[in-house]
Amino acid sequence: MLSLICFSLLIFIMISNTVQQNDLIANSCFNFEYINYNQTQFCTENWFRFRVGNTIDLNLQCIRCTITHVDIRIKYNCLKNFECATLVFDNNMIFEEFFMKYRDRIQSLFPASLQISPNPVLRIILSKYNITRITNEYINSTVNMNFPMLMIFIRFIQRLQSLVSLTVDKHFSPIRFHQLILIVQCDNENSSITYRIYKNNHNNEPNKTGECTEFQPTKQVSCS
């Protein structure tokens, strides 16, 4: 009898936590409403682990939303409850149009006071992309928003097979947010190249780590 009561109590707690979490997601400022589309944006909860400085690892609770259209309505009566947001785009065209229209609104979607991280985190995932070069002009036209505390991660997952490898320019003007991290996935999914650009950057070359074997130039072999 006691075990049955404990089991019932456990089920009740699990259901209550699920309902509370669903309410948090539904009322989040990142849970946009589509205009003129009979389609619901799909958002879930996930976790993101990253390093602040050289020693501190943070595990942030994120809201993860898939953006399929740029015609959205941003809520005013919403909960600014997530310090980390992941926006997933099927391709870079939707991403580019979305941020050209809404980047100046991003800061208002995060809580004003942070409880866990010294910097709010915006993760952008491009499932497919058809660009071959990241330039200073490209960053300025998309994500370069006036939000000094913000860290932005952009992950490029799959390039079109006909394209050459994605390259990142060596020189960037200072950005208006805390840090930009560009992650280019290798064809071998276990490897990637990471580029870091900092707010106080003055035309310095981005900090690069990692290599992709398919991105390396082919060496000429001669026979004597």
Mean pLDDT computed over 41-64: 82
By DSSP bridging, strand 167-168 and strand 133-134 are: parallel
> Cα–Cα distance between 48 and 61 in angstroms, integer?
7
Query: How do residues 185-216 score in pLDDT, each as one tens digit?
Result: 988 778 999 999 998 876 678 999 998 876 55
- Distance, CA of 53 to CA of 67 (rounded, Å): 31
- Residue 106 forms beta bridges with which residues? none
Mean pLDDT of 61-81: 90
Element (H, E) at 19: helix 2-27
Q: For the whole prediction, is pTM greater than 0.85?
A: no
